[in-house]
């Protein structure tokens, strides 16, 4: 506990899944958390449920379109106005196209790139001068093993994988160029994450369960959002103080098969 005591964190895409798990874990560890989302009502509802259980947490929701630079400026300014500073940025928000290679149209492809790559770029560019002025900070980018492998028999969403490949390269450049300013930039690379729909499929379809087990050999074969959040916490905390440009893969062994 208290691994982030006194820290202030911005977490994008905080209304559900991994973003919500990270926000909750950070609050448990003592951080003040600003969770952002395109649809702020979703973040507000999610945070309200957490705060009902833990009224001592300090969690605030903010509307945020990450592909707009001025929105980044506003979120950072509002966070500093509310909590006095920012120490951590978690670039978690992303989208998929839901389409296979030959079905992707230009608009769908460019929308994925705009949010997953340009949005991350704007976040880094906007927070970096603030971190430099205030003695440093930690940026954790949520990537995907989709940037490392082409997938199983069904393949990955190529637009999503391409965007995460670009974001992977962007992270390495940012880590190199910002390290001398006391700014650490690292990434987590989740594999498949358990969802209610996936859990139901695994329980009801032995063929899907067998394929998931074969493709992800380390039990329990599928990570939860909480598993991934622990990796984000480590990279955000002072425990990883000498890590920069690191790629932490959390995938039940998928990339090693």
Q: d(Cα 95, Cα 80) in Å, to the nearest integer?
A: 27
Catalytic residue among 57, 72, 122, 160: 160
Q: Which stretches within 38-157 are classed as H helix?
A: 40-53, 69-83, 106-113, 119-133
CA angle 45, 50, 55 (to 5 degrees): 115
Cβ count near 125 (within 10 Å)? 12
137-142 and 183-190 strand pairing: parallel
Q: d(Cα 165, Cα 93) in Å, to the nearest integer?
A: 15
Find how far residue 95's CA is from the centre of its chain.
Answer: 11
88-91 and 183-190 strand pairing: unpaired
**Strand ranges in 130-216 using DSSP code E only, listed in sequence order:** 137-142, 183-190
Is 100 one of the annotated active-site residues of the chain? no
Q: d(Cα 104, Cα 223) in Å, to the nearest integer?
A: 28
Q: d(Cα 174, Cα 138) in Å, to the nearest integer?
A: 12
CA angle 12, 13, 19 (to 5 degrees): 90
Q: d(Cα 5, Cα 237) in Å, to the nearest integer?
A: 10
Residues labelled as active-site residues: 160
């Amino acid at each position: 506990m208290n691994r982030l005591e006194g820290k202030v964190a911005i977490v994008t895409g905080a209304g559900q899944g991994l973003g919500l798990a990270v926000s909750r874990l950070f609050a448990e560890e003592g951080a003040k958390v600003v969770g952002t989302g395109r649809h702020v009502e979703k973040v507000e509802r999610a945070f309200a449920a957490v705060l009902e259980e833990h009224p001592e947490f300090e969690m605030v929701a903010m509307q945020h379109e990450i592909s707009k630079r001025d929105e980044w400026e506003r979120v950072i300014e509002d966070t500093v106005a509310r909590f006095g500073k920012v120490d951590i940025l978690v670039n978690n928000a992303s989208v998929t196209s839901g389409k296979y290679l030959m079905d992707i149209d230009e608009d769908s492809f460019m929308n994925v790139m705009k949010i997953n790559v340009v949005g991350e770029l704007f976040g880094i560019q906007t927070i970096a001068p603030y971190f430099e002025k205030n003695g440093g900070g930690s940026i954790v980018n949520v990537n995907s093993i989709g940037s490392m492998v082409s997938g199983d028999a069904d393949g990955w969403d190529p637009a999503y994988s391409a965007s995460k490949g670009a974001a992977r390269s962007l992270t390495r450049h940012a880590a190199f160029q910002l390290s001398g300013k006391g700014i650490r930039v690292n990434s987590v690379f989740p594999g498949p994450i358990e969802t209610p729909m996936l859990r139901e499929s695994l329980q009801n379809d032995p063929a899907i369960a067998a394929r998931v087990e074969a493709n992800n050999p380390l039990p329990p074969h599928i990570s939860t959002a909480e598993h991934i959040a622990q990796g984000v916490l480590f990279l955000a905390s002072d425990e990883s103080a000498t890590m920069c440009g690191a790629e932490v893969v959390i995938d039940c062994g998928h990339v090693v098969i």
